């Protein structure tokens, strides 16, 4: 048998070459892998003590068996919360997408759609609750839902007022106290006519007189052509 390395071999000759045992049989060379010497991974044969890159890990061929994943390959894969991610893998990290590049996770680069909510400079995850002065807020699949806190704020004609806030409306000073509106008449501003209050400058007819509200006082002027 003619071998490229050994040259001519007699019938029945056997010899070891790397991972293989070769035999000269009937003018042809046959070969079989030597047990406990080389390793096979993904159809490729590796000799003893060869170090192999297997995904994110280095492994070594020892006595025909590949070692367990023994050493993380530098600048190739990323670890986050004990989980290993290969190069270019995109990972969901809370509210954000991140990418493994050269062994390093990118900064929080893209907000995951329909998952979290922005409010001010804060990011809230789905289901999170937080409070503003007047509302209880909740993040629901990327959308903010709000519910009025009735014990904190008051709603007056569509406008919200905080606890202890005061505002004027017509003849009154109004104040919000624990969700209830209280009002006090503004002195020297409006005029009381029966159970009704007239605004400053308001004029009205009463019998033979035209009356007006001036600085909280009612003035009367006789209408000559009427009485």
Please state the three-class secondary structure of 56-100 as a single string: CEEEEEECCEECCCCEECCCCCEEECCEEECCCCEEEECCEEEEE
> How are beta strands 153-156 and 83-85 bridged, if at all?
unpaired
Backbone angles phi, psi at 98, to 5 degrees: -135, 155
CA distance 218 to 214: 6
pTM above 0.75, yes or no: no
**Which of helix, strand or coil describes residue 119?**
strand
Q: Average the pLDDT over each of 5-14, 27-36, 68-77, 78-87 and give the range with the smallest value.
A: 68-77
Q: Average the pLDDT over each of 21-30, 110-119, 133-142, 206-215 and give the range with the smallest value.
A: 110-119
Residue 63: pLDDT above 80? yes
| Burial track 67-99 (b if 16+ CB lie within 10 A, e otherwise) | beeeebeeeebbeeeeeebebeeebeeebbebb
Q: What is the pLDDT of residue 18?
A: 83
Residue 227: pLDDT above 80? no
Residue 188: pLDDT above 90? no
Which tens digits make up the pLDDT trace of 36-56?
A: 888 888 888 888 889 998 888
């Amino acid at each position: 048998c003619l071998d490229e390395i050994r040259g001519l071999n007699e019938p029945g000759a056997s010899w070891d070459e790397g991972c293989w045992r070769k035999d000269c049989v009937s003018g042809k060379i046959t070969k079989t892998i030597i047990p406990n010497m080389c390793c096979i991974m993904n159809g490729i044969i590796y000799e003893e003590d060869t170090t192999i890159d297997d995904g994110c890990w280095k492994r070594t061929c020892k006595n025909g068996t590949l070692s367990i994943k023994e050493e993380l390959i530098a600048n190739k894969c990323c670890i986050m919360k004990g989980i290993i991610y290969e190069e270019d893998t995109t990972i969901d990290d809370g509210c954000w997408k991140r990418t493994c590049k050269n062994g390093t996770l990118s900064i929080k680069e893209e907000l995951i759609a329909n998952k979290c909510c922005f409010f001010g400079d804060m990011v809230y995850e789905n289901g999170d609750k937080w409070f503003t002065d007047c509302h209880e807020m909740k993040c629901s699949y990327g959308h903010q839902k709000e519910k009025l806190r009735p014990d904190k704020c008051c709603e007056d004609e569509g406008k919200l007022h905080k606890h202890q806030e005061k505002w004027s409306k017509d003849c009154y000073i109004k104040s919000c106290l624990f969700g209830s509106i209280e009002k006090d008449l503004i002195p020297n501003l409006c005029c009381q006519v029966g159970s009704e209050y007239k605004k400053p400058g308001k004029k009205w007819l009463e019998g033979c007189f035209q009356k007006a509200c001036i600085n909280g006082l009612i003035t009367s002027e006789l209408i000559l052509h009427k009485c």
